[in-house]
């Protein structure tokens, strides 16, 4: 079994895979990182691990994994199951590398766009020759709410609503319309551009807000809640023990 750890900007997701099957997955508060990892390791026969970190994992926390299992620390130099044509590969986020590995496994020889709706919204394009070209990064939903609150004098900090309308009749509902409708219009517009210019065959959405957005987008789209973990597991499977 393989331990896969994805350290994001706001949370840590850890999963244990038996070959390609996700046996257990937890979302961990960084303050309980060691406790949760010890619980997983104590109950499952883990052989090796991989860590992908775009957030902050302390040296002590990282070493606790490395001392326990053979561990791959994902970077742009790690062998991956696709050709990386990004002009500055050393600046490419490891979470995006994990996403492209997942796409390469799930949709071989197909062109596609992977959208990760987390703290930021990332768009990543792979052609049907298994070549990663690049994409785009824009502010995520939470970041847009926080920006309006932090850079204005009176706008409140809001949470994502269950329901919202095109026309906001109060300040709060107007903010919801601007953020949610704006994000949906952005994503649908980007998808349409990729379809027209690159004839993409598959669109995948993942990330913390992926499920919420997938139900509201106009385009046909596949929602994968654990796509990064699946990609990291695939990368680890390809490494030597």
Which residues are identified as catalytic? Answer: 95
Tokens of 41: 């390791």
Residue found under tokens 């300040």:
171
Residue found under tokens 């490494």:
239
CA torsion sign for 65, 205, 161, 168 is positive
Distances (CA, A) of 223 to 173, 187, 197, 208: 27, 14, 23, 11
- Name every residue whose Cβ is closer than 8 Å to that of residue 127 and which is 6 or more positions away in sequence: 111, 133, 198
Distance (Å, whole) CA 79 – CA 63: 22
């Amino acid at each position: 079994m393989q331990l896969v750890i994805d350290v994001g900007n706001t949370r840590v997701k850890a999963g244990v895979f038996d070959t390609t099957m996700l046996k257990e997955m937890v979302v961990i508060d960084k303050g309980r990182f060691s406790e949760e990892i010890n619980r997983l390791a104590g109950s499952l026969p883990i052989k090796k691990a991989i860590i992908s970190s775009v957030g902050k994992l302390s040296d002590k926390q990282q070493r606790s994994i490395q001392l326990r299992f053979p561990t791959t620390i994902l970077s742009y130099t790690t062998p991956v199951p696709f050709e990386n044509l990004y002009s500055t590969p050393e600046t490419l986020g490891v979470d995006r590398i994990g996403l492209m590995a997942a796409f390469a496994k799930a949709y071989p020889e197909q062109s596609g766009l992977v959208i990760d709706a987390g703290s930021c919204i990332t768009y990543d394009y792979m052609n049907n020759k298994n070549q990663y070209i690049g994409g785009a990064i824009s502010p995520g939903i939470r970041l847009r709410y926080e920006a309006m609150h932090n850079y204005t004098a009176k706008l409140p900090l809001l949470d994502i609503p269950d329901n919202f309308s095109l026309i906001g009749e109060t300040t709060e509902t107007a903010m919801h319309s601007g953020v949610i409708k704006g994000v949906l219009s952005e994503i649908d517009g980007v998808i349409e551009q990729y379809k027209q210019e690159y004839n993409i065959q598959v669109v995948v959405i993942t990330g913390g807000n992926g499920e919420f957005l997938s139900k509201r987008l106009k385009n046909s789209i596949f929602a994968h809640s654990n796509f990064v973990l699946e990609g990291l597991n695939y990368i680890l499977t390809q490494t030597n023990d």
